[in-house]
Structures are given as structure tokens and as C-alpha cells.
Amino acid sequence: MNRKYRKTLIAGNWKMNKTPTETKAFMTELKGLLPKGRWCDIALCVPAVCIPAAVRAMRETRVGIGAENCNPNPSGAYTGEVSTAMLVDAGCKYVIIGHSERRAMGETDEEVNAKTKAALEAGLIPIVCCGESLEQREADITEEWISMQIKLALAGISEDKIRKVVIAYEPIWAIGTGRTATPEQAEEVCQLIRTVVRKLFGSKNARATTILYGGSMNDKNAYELLAQPDIDGGLIGGASLVPSKFVKIIEDANQPTA
Ligand code: PEP
């Protein structure tokens, strides 16, 4: 982390977990555990039906609520989809885009780019995910793959909008597997992402871009991961479903930085 130049963000991704009723109970417990004082930015990205309950419960707190996906079109015949304007109106601040689980369902780089632009246009903070598979890592093409994903996701985004984008590096082999990237492995790729952003948008913008690590980050390993200079926070799945674990990660993000 480097709090001098960029924001630290601890973001939860609930995936397809919890009902609206369970959301309310979770948020009540979380509110009781949140540390007082100035801490990092905090987000919880929840299933679409849980957004109203989450927004209502966290209204007076510094926890921002987010969605896990959006449709890039403004409105129309897209049964089952949710637009960025709907998310804003429902009280969302963030939206996860291009999660590997959605890419595995067929989401393309072009769609990730269109969703990122639509989110920015609507005033949402997009958390844009990238990550390599185990096969790609073993074939030693992580650098090429991640560079390509980032270039395609950020294509055509204007310089005045890039600082609003949060990027999450999530190696697919580490998501939900309990197998975390080592701090060195995670740092290496987050540093590469910053280099790609620098080439596209210049050094000031690259220095100001928040880059998260995600992939089995939890209350036991977060401190070391967050101590890396280019890891500005975490995108957390499993551990964000348990208030005490999520709060411990938030506390770990408050460590001293250079
Ligand atoms: C995720 O869903 O983005 C994620 C990182 O999950 P987990 O923390 O459970 O690996």
C-alpha cells in the first residue's frame, strides 16, 4: 500500500450468498465491529436483490455498497439484467466488472470494456478484475495475459476517468481454493499492472491507481499481502461473509506504510 498516493480499499464480493434478511443481520453485526476513526475505504458488493437492504443498513456508515455485475446498455430488452443507472438509483457506489466467474460464463473483454465505460459514465467506481489460470501461469504467459486483459478493459477510457477505476488482480487458481498467491507473486503482477497503466495513462495516473489483490485473502494472510507496495487493498470473497474476519482484514489495512 502507499496511502500517500492512492486510496486503500477493502472490498467484499459476496458472490451468490446471503438473502436480503441475512444481509440485514450481517450489516448489523458488522456495524458493531467496525473500528472507529479514519480507516481505509470499505465496500461490500452484494447480490442485486440484497442491495436495498445493504444500502439501508449502512446509510450512516463509511461502508459503500456495490453490485457484482452490470449491463452496459442504458435500458431495453435485456431480460434479467440490471443497468448502471438502476444501481446508482438503488444507492450503489461500486460495481465489480469482469470477475473470472462471470468470464467463465462467457463474458468477453469487449463486454468488460463496455461495462467499465458505462459504470464510469454513471458515476460508479468499477472494480475491474483480471487474472490468469493455473495453465497460463505454468506456461509462463501471465505477463502477456494480464497486460492484454488490462489494455482491453481500459481501451478508450479518458485520462480524467482513469483514476476512478479500481483494478483487482485475482489469479483464478487462488479464488475460492484456499491457495493464496504469495505476497511476492501478488506484488509482481500488481506492479506489472501499474506499469501497463503507466504506459497507457502516464505516471501520475499510474501512481494514483488503486490495485487490489484477490484470491483466498483472509484474516490470516491479509497483513503480509497488504504490506506490498503495489497492493492497495483486497477483493475478498469467502472471508467477507464473516463479519469478524472481514473486520480483521480492514484492521490489517491500517498498518503503517512507507
Ligand atoms: C473473489 O470472489 O473475488 C475471491 C477472491 O474469492 P475468495 O476470497 O473466496 O478466494
| 207 within 8 A of 6, measured Cβ to Cβ | yes
What local confidence, expressed as pLDDT, does residue 258 receive? 67
Q: Which amino acids bring their CB within 6 angstroms of ligand 1?
A: 13, 15, 170, 175-176, 214-217, 235-238
Q: If you measure from the C-alpha of residue 197 to the centroid of ligand 1, how many angstroms do you get, rounded to a whole number?
A: 24
Distance CA 89, CA 33 (A): 28
Closest of 245, 195, 244 to residue 222, by C-alpha: 245
Residue 199 DSSP class:
H
Angle formed at CA 111 by CA 105 and CA 112, multiple of 5 degrees: 90
pLDDT in tens, 166-178: 999 999 999 988 8
| Phi and psi based region of residue 193 (left: phi greater than 0; alpha: psi -120 to 50; beta: remaining) | alpha
Domains and CATH numbers, the chain: 9-252 (3.20.20.70)
236, amino acid identity: I
| Mean pLDDT score, 148-152 | 98
What local confidence, expressed as pLDDT, does residue 245 receive? 98
**Mean per-residue pLDDT over the chain, rounded:** 96
Q: 99, 132, 187, 251: which is the annotated catalytic residue?
A: 99
What local confidence, expressed as pLDDT, does residue 177 receive? 87
User: CB neighbours (10 Å) of residue 151?
Assistant: 15
Question: Which of 13, 103, 127, 130 for mutating ligand 1's site (highest number of atoms within 8 Å of CB)?
Answer: 13
pLDDT in tens, 210-219: 999 999 999 9
Query: Where would I find the beta strands (DSSP E) of the chain?
Result: 9-13, 41-45, 63-67, 94-97, 125-130, 166-169, 210-214, 233-236
What local confidence, expressed as pLDDT, does residue 34 receive? 93
| Mean pLDDT score, 52-78 | 97
Residue with cell 476517468: 161
Q: Is the pTM of this model over 0.85?
A: yes
Q: Examine the residue annotation and report whether 99 is marked as an active-site residue of this protein.
A: yes
